[in-house]
C-alpha cells in the first residue's frame, strides 16, 4: 500500500488550498488514525457514542504538529466522508488546542470545490455559531470520562494564523 505522506503534498498553503486525507467520518465514534509506519489506517480505540465526531477528521500530508502526529484537520461537509478519501480543501481557520499538555491544533476547512458549502464558508465567522460551540464542546470534553480536564480549546484563529500553523508543521516534517 502506498503511503499518503510520500505521494500527496501539503498543497498550496499560500493560496489557502491544502490536501487533506480523511481518517474519521463525521458522526463516528471510532478513533481511526493513519499509521505511517505501516502505511495503513488503524482503529486506535472506540469512543463513547456521546463523543462521536462533530465533523470529518483528517490530516494534511507531509506535516507534523508539535505532538509528533500529522497536522489534524476538521473538515466541514454536508455528509460524512469515508476513511481514506483525499481531497483539496480550503482553509477557513484554526482551532488552537492542547491535549494532555501537548499542542494538537486543528485546521478548519471545507472542500475547495464544494459549491454548496465551500463557496459560502471563507472564514470561521461564516460557520453557524452552534457548530463552533459543538466542536469546542466536543474537544473540551471527549476525554472527560477517562481524564477530566486533559483537553482544552485555547482559542480560534483566522486563515492567516492557520496558514502559519501549517507552514510550521511542514517545516517540522522536513526537518525530521
Dihedral of the alpha carbons of 96, 97, 103, 106, in degrees to the nearest 10: -70
The binding site for Mg(2+) comprises 67, 72, 104
- Show binding-site residues for substrate: 31, 45, 57, 142
Residue ranges for the known binding site are 31, 45, 57, 67, 72, 104, 142
**137-144 — which CB contacts under 8 Å span 24+ positions?**
138/51, 138/53, 138/54, 139/95, 139/97, 139/106, 141/51, 142/47, 142/51, 143/99
Amino acid at each position: 500500500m502506498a503511503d499518503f505522506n510520500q505521494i500527496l503534498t501539503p498543497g498550496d498553503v499560500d493560496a489557502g488550498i491544502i490536501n487533506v486525507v480523511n481518517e474519521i467520518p463525521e458522526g463516528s465514534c471510532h478513533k481511526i488514525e493513519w499509521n505511517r509506519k505501516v502505511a495503513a489506517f488503524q482503529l486506535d480505540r472506540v469512543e463513547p457514542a456521546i463523543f462521536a465526531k462533530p465533523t470529518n477528521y483528517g490530516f494534511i500530508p507531509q506535516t507534523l504538529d508539535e505532538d509528533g502526529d500529522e497536522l489534524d484537520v476538521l473538515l466541514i461537509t454536508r455528509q460524512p466522508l469515508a476513511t481514506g478519501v483525499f481531497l483539496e480543501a480550503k482553509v477557513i481557520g484554526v482551532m488552537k488546542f492542547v491535549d494532555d499538555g501537548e499542542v494538537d491544533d486543528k485546521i478548519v476547512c471545507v472542500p475547495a470545490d464544494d459549491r454548496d458549502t465551500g463557496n459560502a464558508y471563507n472564514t470561521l465567522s461564516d460557520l453557524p455559531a452552534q457548530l463552533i460551540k459543538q466542536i469546542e464542546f466536543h474537544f473540551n470534553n471527549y476525554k472527560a470520562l477517562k481524564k477530566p480536564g486533559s483537553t482544552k480549546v485555547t482559542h480560534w484563529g483566522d486563515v492567516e494564523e492557520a496558514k502559519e500553523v501549517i507552514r510550521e508543521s511542514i517545516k517540522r516534517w522536513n526537518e525530521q
